[in-house]
Structure 1
């Protein structure tokens, strides 16, 4: 299993108790979707690209997106401590099915971006998960353009046509094409 075949489920916050349980923070919409995990893949901070499979013995919800995780073979705090900060991964095939026009970011990489006003703009190159919000990155007239991923701006995807429909804010493309023309007069 490689990272390209997986999605990040969350990370290990710290050991819990003396018998090898782990406090984990999930990076998902609903932690209950994963309460029957059988296997997780773990990448430690010292080797972030190397995945090791672990059988899951128990998942105990702790509220919100925190869960206590018990992995087979991790029986003592001394065995759990080195896992602190490790990232938990699952195969892409285990992602929950989405409804309607929802999509996963990895599903629309390479899709044509279609603006409601301007028409075809460019191709989705990447998504960045920033602390404030996720942003879509596309190439437009040789420039990388970032668009916040919010319902008002990213409308829907047509999976069959490989198109992502957006509503670009007025003037956003100009800012990327002519960055010097939009200086803040109060910045000096």
Structure 2
């Protein structure tokens, strides 16, 4: 939730980087991180597209700007079972064979494996040299992926590929 929009508890929401907007009427969400004196969960009652990736979302039980203000900065989590089957990002193993491209350096290499670690997924990338490079697959680095072109565009920190 990026900001309040209405006096009756409407909030402006955007999708997570690289994902489609998934909130819809009737969907139960959990707000994270949990806030004091604010609901931990609520059901979406209405969604209105504001354009440019922004949506005004209202929730059952959140009917004042005071309560809505406590939820600004929170993320909405939903149960995987409540999402349409094609809504989720590619599963890790589906990225094997994709070409990794850096915003600054251009083509980096081919993803040969996806390693699940406790903190995040790691992309194992063959850069054409003797060893492979591990790249964290996190929202802050991911710019976009193109299923049709089999590419993953990332904004990698300087020096990451030299490790």
TM-score by length of 1: 0.49
User: Which residue of 1 is the match for residue 85 of structure 2?
Assistant: 97
CA RMSD of aligned residues (A): 4.5
Q: Which runs of 5+ in 1 are unaligned?
A: 1-11, 127-134, 157-165, 167-174, 181-188
User: Residues of 1 paired with 2:111 and 2:20: CA distance?
Assistant: 34
1:43 aligns with 2:28: no
- The residue correspondences of 1:23-172 to structure 2 (distance < 5 A) are 23-27=12-16, 30-31=20-21, 34-44=23-33, 52-98=40-86, 104-105=89-90, 107-109=91-93, 113=96, 122-125=112-115, 137-138=123-124, 143-146=132-135, 150-151=145-146, 155=150
Aligned to 1:26, the other structure's residue is in SS state coil
Aligned to 2:14, the other structure's residue is in SS state strand
Which of the two has higher C-alpha Rg?
1
Q: Which runs of 5+ in 2 are unaligned?
A: 100-109, 137-141, 153-159
For residues 20 and 114 of structure 1, do their structure 2 counterparts lie closer, same or farther at Cα, with a shift above 3 Å needed?
Answer: closer
Q: Which has the higher helix share?
A: 1
Aligned residues: 131
Aligned to 2:52, the other structure's residue is in SS state coil
